[in-house]
Amino acid sequence: MKQFVTFGELMLSLGTTGNHRLVQSETFTAHYVGAEANVAVSLAHFGVEAYEVSKVPSHEIGQACINALRRYGVRTEYILRGGDRLGLLYKETGASQRPTKVIYDRTHSAIRQIAPGEIDWDAIFAGKDWFHISGSSVALGPEVVAVIAPALAAAKRAGLTVSCDCNYRRKLWSMEQAGKVLSRLLENIDVFICGRDDPHTIFGIPRDGLDGLAGRHRDQRAAELMLERFRLDSLAMTVREGISASVNGLSALLCRHGKTYFSPRYEMQMVDRVGSGDAFAAGLIFGLMSEFEPQRAVDFATAAACLKHSIPGDCNLSSREEVEQLVAGGESGRVQR
């Protein structure tokens, strides 16, 4: 059984129900989420032993957060208890021409209150295979970077593969800041995941030479340039077409050891889009961990991301078999009975 570790903020996600707007809502659904925890949950569903490292308050809401991870099979023994508050977010699921909106309320949350040395990374990483982080936790600022940077170094020391999902959030930091901080961390990262625009807008990869190329060749070229610049082992790029808040297109490419592999494209009628990037990351990590051929890995990751769109909440509660069934062509239009 492969051993996976991730670190990041855990939050309470308060969602409206039935397409209601936030100002209409008299009830909120409560999901306990985190870009990294979502990856851990998905990997646990694929049969990986997945550990979350984080910090949540010692009160009942902190406990509820831990319970949610335990319920879905994530190991929680490395989660610290303490700090003032659990970060939270309000989520309004859009529809048709109305976009989904997220309001963050993450200031002064417990994860920013981790003391230096409070986490013993060397102990944690002993016997583990993979470490994963997300740019949306890096974005929380210096207190969190001060935890992540030594973690990356320790992970490399311990021989883990290290992955990072870019997850740029404009409500948390500017593209410039993101570029500066992430570029530094990329030194210790093997596998990087980003969206189609991120190489250009965040890392300053020039679009110039790419103008004459068709869409996917431009994506491929940008991926290759990223791989080179940051001496990555692999770079995966998701290409999302935001047709509307109800329908999206999705495809991806994986550039690995210099070769590029393209996934098929899916068009999804969306139930809940949030977390689909994390589902992609989990699918990719699972594929690479399991030493799938690169083509199979990117196909698996994209099918995993596709399935997430049909599931409420941030987590891809799909089994390996279900993802592989979709890769194999699926029978989504039939009733399984």
Q: Which of residues 287-326 bind a second copy (CB under 8 A)?
A: 303, 306-307, 309-313, 317-318, 322, 326
Q: Which of 273, 270, 276, 253 is nearest to 323 (CA)?
A: 276
Q: CA-to-CA distance for 172 and 138, rounded, in angstroms?
A: 10
Q: Determine, following the binding rule CB under 8 A, whether residue 200 of this chain makes contact with a second copy.
A: no
Nearest to a second copy of 92, 299 (CB atom): 92
CB atoms within 10 A of CB 159: 9
Please report, as residue ranges, which positions from 83 to 102 form the binding site for a second copy (by CB under 8 A): 84-86, 89-90, 92, 94-102
Number of residues that bind a second copy (CB under 8 A): 85
- Chosen residue from 234, 273, 278, 279 binding a second copy by CB under 8 A: 273
Nearest to a second copy of 109, 163 (CB atom): 109
Nearest to a second copy of 18, 142 (CB atom): 18
Nearest to a second copy of 115, 271 (CB atom): 271
Please report, as residue ranges, which positions from 4 to 43 form the binding site for a second copy (by CB under 8 A): 14, 17-30
Burial grade of 147 (CB within 10 A; 0-12, 13-18, 19 or more): buried
- Chosen residue from 7, 261, 266, 300 binding a second copy by CB under 8 A: 266
State the nearest-atom distance from the C-beta of 158 to a second copy, in Å. 26
Residue 82's alpha-carbon distances to 30, 58, 118, 205, in angstroms, are 21, 5, 11, 41
Stretches 2-10, 64-72, 116-124, 174-182: which one binds a second copy (CB under 8 A)? 64-72
Nearest to a second copy of 72, 203 (CB atom): 72
Q: Which of 181, 177, 176 is nearest to 164 (CA)?
A: 181
Q: CA-to-CA distance for 206 and 309, rounded, in angstroms?
A: 32
Nearest to a second copy of 91, 221 (CB atom): 91
DSSP 8-state secondary structure symbol assigned to residue 261: E
Site string for a second copy, 221-260 (x = CB under 8 A): -------------------xxxxxxxxx------------
Q: CA-to-CA distance for 215 and 51, rounded, in angstroms?
A: 38
State the nearest-atom distance from the C-beta of 308 to a second copy, in Å. 9
Q: Which of 46, 328, 332, 34 is nearest to 167 (CA)?
A: 34
Please report, as residue ranges, which positions from 164 to 183 form the binding site for a second copy (by CB under 8 A): 169-171
Tokens representing residue 46 in the block? 């694929």
Q: CA-to-CA distance for 149 and 329, rounded, in angstroms?
A: 41
State the nearest-atom distance from the C-beta of 186 to a second copy, in Å. 23
